[in-house]
Amino acid sequence: MTVLGADVWPPAPIRTERLVLRESEARDRAAVIELDASPEVGAYLGGPRSRAELERMVPEVPGRRPGFFVVELDGAAIGTVQLDPHAPEVPGSSHRREAGETELGYLFLPDAWGHGYAGEACAAALDWFSGVLPGEPVVLYTQTANVRSMRLAAKLGFTELERFEAYGAEQWFGVRSSAR
């Protein structure tokens, strides 16, 4: 079983050199809306969503699910890291979900790019994951045109399984095997 259950979630806040990773709270709602409404953040994710729609749809406590980390810098939310069950099938991909496969996602506010925060946060989340589910691989999708994301995936130790066309763009699919 690779489900992040009540025995492991939520973890105590994870502290890195500069950041804190923790479960979502009501005070994170504005940052989550900002992430989803940002044209820069949405550039390779199907585009931004309308702020009015987000204000209507985002729950009081956003992202309240196992594997959804809010990343804080000096007390302010700067992004999110998600470890979610991998979507059953991605159009165009030859990969078929294996039971319980976990997918990494990351979204950071543009002002927080270029400081290594995403790398620091994702490494900490992956380290936590391999501690609670030793040996479980993590998969990742990103557009090849998303250069920052491609660099981050490589830095985190993801290796390519396939490239394929979907949603009008070339997609990269990688896997990272647990070090433990």
Ligand X SMILES: CC(C)(COP(=O)(O)OP(=O)(O)OC[C@H]1O[C@@H](n2cnc3c(N)ncnc32)[C@H](O)[C@@H]1OP(=O)(O)O)[C@@H](O)C(=O)NCCC(=O)NCCS
Question: Considering only residues 80, 102, 142, 171, which one is a binding residue for ligand X as defined by CB under 6 A?
Answer: 142
Query: Minimum Å distance from CB 6 to ligand X?
Result: 26
Question: Considering only residues 15, 96, 115, 163, which one is a binding residue for ligand X as defined by CB under 6 A?
Answer: 115
Tokens linked to 112: 């927080």
Task: Give residue number: closest CB to ligand X.
Answer: 116
Strand partners, 142: 172
Residue with smaller CB distance to ligand X, 100 or 114:
114
Question: By three-state DSSP, how is residue 172 classified?
Answer: strand
Question: Considering only residues 125, 152, 158, 173, which one is a binding residue for ligand X as defined by CB under 6 A?
Answer: 152
Nearest to 98 by CA among 5, 175, 157, 180: 175
Residues 116-135 close enough to bind ligand X by CB under 6 A: 116-119
Window contacting ligand X (CB under 6 A); options: 65-73, 86-94, 148-156, 161-169: 148-156
- What are the angstrom distances between the C-alpha of 89 and each of 77, 84, 93, 96, 152? 31, 14, 7, 6, 24
Residue with smaller CB distance to ligand X, 48 or 66:
48
The single residue listed with the structure tokens 């953040």 is 41
# residues contacting ligand X (CB under 6 A): 20
172 near ligand X, rule: CB under 6 A? no
Window contacting ligand X (CB under 6 A); options: 3-11, 24-32, 90-98, 141-149: 141-149
Name 154's Cβ contacts closer than 8 Å, sequence gap at least 6.
none
Residues 85-114 close enough to bind ligand X by CB under 6 A: 105-108, 113-114
Question: Considering only residues 48, 146, 157, 166, which one is a binding residue for ligand X as defined by CB under 6 A?
Answer: 146
- Interaxial angle between packed helices 117-132 and 147-155, expressed in degrees from 0 to 180 and rounded to the nearest 10: 40
The answer to whether the Cα torsion of 45, 47, 50, 51 is positive or negative is positive
**Measured distance CA(138)–CA(21) in Å, rounded:** 18
Applying CB under 6 A, the residues found at the interface with ligand X are: 41, 44-45, 105-108, 113-119, 142, 146, 148-149, 152, 155
